[in-house]
């Protein structure tokens, strides 16, 4: 089952409201933001139905973890019904306010974590997103490179429900103290907090923030959808080739197709396809056109300079 995605909202809708000065200051200081009511009650119900259906499919294939958890990569590849979340009007402005217009989604996943009935052995899971980026980039702090949106479909308004846990401000630290091996019990990082959110809230975070997922020993099943954005000159991790080959891909709006890695290359003598990913041709990049049309460029922020 698929759902035709909504178009990019017109001027005056929330998608044309950039990150506020206060939000930017908080994001720069803490490394994350909570966006209350990012999804309506109807959207929460719809996406919960989608993720429950996918969970049932994984369960039937016996593809869940021993605890019954699901971690499915490449969200739109699995269900095009989630495509409207790529450029959702209440959250996507935060992405382009930070990274600019030359972006795509490089990584996404759908997660379900039911109550754990047998205590799991200790494992130190604190990390920064990005994998090899955190070994191969030499600056201190390392560059932001990517940001991530988490949409909460279940009630994690109190701690202990598999909450997202962070150390506010740690996105500016390349290293935190940890054990010699992941199975050696170790104190939590100083200042660590569990982020609480209601169904429909979203969390927007810098990939560099030190974070972990806590174990869920509650009676509430944790359900969330995650989308990570980066610059178009960084490779996509998701399985998007098959998505782009489907006939229904054409039903997505131009910005959504950009975010899923559609080739925007315009053949020109002496130029290669990779030049477009480098941002050499803004006039044929849908998000650039959207920002220009709605007068959303900002001379004070390099990624948004016209």
CATH assignment of the domain containing 259 = 2.60.120.620
* 12, pLDDT greater than 60: no
pLDDT in tens, 295-306: 999 999 999 998
Identify whether 3 is part of a domain: no
Strand partners, 228: 107, 148
Identify whether 8 is part of a domain: no
Q: Output the 3-class SS for the chain.
A: CCCCCCCCCCCCCHHHCCCCHHHHHHHHHHCEEEECCCCCHHHHHHHHHHHHHHHHHHHHCCCCCCCCCEEEECHHHHCHHHHHHCCCCCCHHHHHHHHCCCEEEEEEEEEEECCCCCCCCCCCCCECCCCCHHHHCCCCCCCCCEEEEEEECCCECCCCECCEEECCCHHHCCCCCCCCCCCCCCCCCCCCEEECECCCCEEEEECCCCEEECCECCCCCEEEEEEEEEECCCCCCCCCHHHHHCHHHHHCCHHHHHHCCCCCCCCCCCCCCHHHHCCCCHHHCHHHHHHHHCCCCCCCCHHHCC
**What pLDDT does residue 4 have?**
36
Identify whether 214 is part of a domain: yes
Is the Cβ–Cβ distance between 47 and 39 less than 8 Å?
A: yes
- 245 versus 271: the higher-pLDDT residue is 245
pLDDT in tens, 133-187: 999 999 999 999 999 999 999 999 999 999 999 999 999 999 999 999 999 999 9
**What pLDDT does residue 138 have?**
93
Q: In percent, how much of the chain has pLDDT > 90?
A: 88
* 271, pLDDT greater than 70: no
**What pLDDT does residue 275 have?**
85
Identify whether 273 is part of a domain: yes
Residue 7 banded pLDDT, cuts 50, 70, 90 = very low
Is the Cβ–Cβ distance between 32 and 203 less than 8 Å?
A: yes
Identify whether 145 is part of a domain: yes
d(CA 238, CA 77): 8
**What pLDDT does residue 153 have?**
98
Q: In percent, how much of the chain has pLDDT > 70?
A: 93
Residue 15 banded pLDDT, cuts 50, 70, 90 = confident
pLDDT in tens, 192-207: 999 999 999 999 999 9
pLDDT in tens, 207-265: 999 999 999 999 999 999 999 999 999 999 999 999 999 999 999 999 999 999 998 87
**What pLDDT does residue 3 have?**
35
**What pLDDT does residue 95 have?**
98
**What pLDDT does residue 268 have?**
66
Identify whether 5 is part of a domain: no
Mean of pLDDT over the chain = 93
Query: Which of these, 57, 101, 94, 62, lies nearest to 78 by C-alpha position?
Result: 57
Number of domains in the chain: 1
**What pLDDT does residue 265 have?**
72
Identify whether 238 is part of a domain: yes
Identify whether 123 is part of a domain: yes
Query: Which of these, 80, 33, 77, 85, lies nearest to 224 by C-alpha position?
Result: 85
**What pLDDT does residue 72 have?**
98
- 280 versus 115: the higher-pLDDT residue is 115
**What pLDDT does residue 289 have?**
96
Residue 269 banded pLDDT, cuts 50, 70, 90 = low
Range of the domain at 222: 14-295
């Amino acid at each position: 089952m698929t759902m035709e995605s909504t178009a990019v909202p017109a001027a005056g809708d929330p998608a044309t409201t950039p990150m506020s000065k206060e939000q930017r200051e908080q994001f720069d200081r803490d490394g994350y933001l909570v966006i209350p009511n990012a999804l309506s009650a109807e959207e929460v119900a719809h996406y919960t139905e989608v993720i429950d259906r996918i969970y049932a499919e994984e369960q039937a294939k016996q593809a869940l973890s021993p605890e019954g958890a699901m971690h499915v990569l490449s969200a739109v590849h699995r269900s095009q019904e989630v495509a409207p979340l790529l450029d959702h009007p209440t959250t996507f402005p935060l992405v382009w306010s930070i990274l600019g217009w030359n972006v795509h989604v490089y990584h996404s996943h759908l997660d379900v974590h039911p109550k754990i009935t047998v205590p799991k052995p200790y494992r130190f899971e604190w990390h920064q997103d990005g994998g090899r980026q955190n070994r191969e980039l030499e600056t201190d702090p390392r560059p932001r490179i990517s940001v991530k949106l988490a949409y909460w479909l279940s009630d994690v308004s109190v701690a202990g429900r598999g909450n997202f846990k962070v150390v506010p401000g740690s996105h500016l630290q390349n290293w935190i103290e940890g054990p010699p091996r992941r199975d050696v019990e170790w104190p939590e990082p100083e200042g660590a907090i569990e982020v609480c959110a209601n169904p429909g809230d979203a969390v927007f975070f810098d990939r560099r923030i030190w974070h972990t997922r806590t174990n869920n020993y509650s009676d509430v099943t944790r359900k969330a959808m995650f989308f990570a954005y980066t610059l178009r000159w960084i490779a996509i991790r998701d399985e998007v080739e098959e998505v782009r080959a489907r006939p229904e891909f054409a039903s997505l709006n131009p910005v959504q197709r950009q975010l899923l890695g559609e080739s925007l290359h315009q053949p020109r003598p002496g130029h290669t396809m990779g030049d477009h990913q480098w941002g050499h041709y803004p006039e044929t990049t849908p998000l650039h056109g959207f920002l220009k049309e709605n007068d959303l460029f900002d001379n004070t922020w390099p990624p948004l300079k016209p």
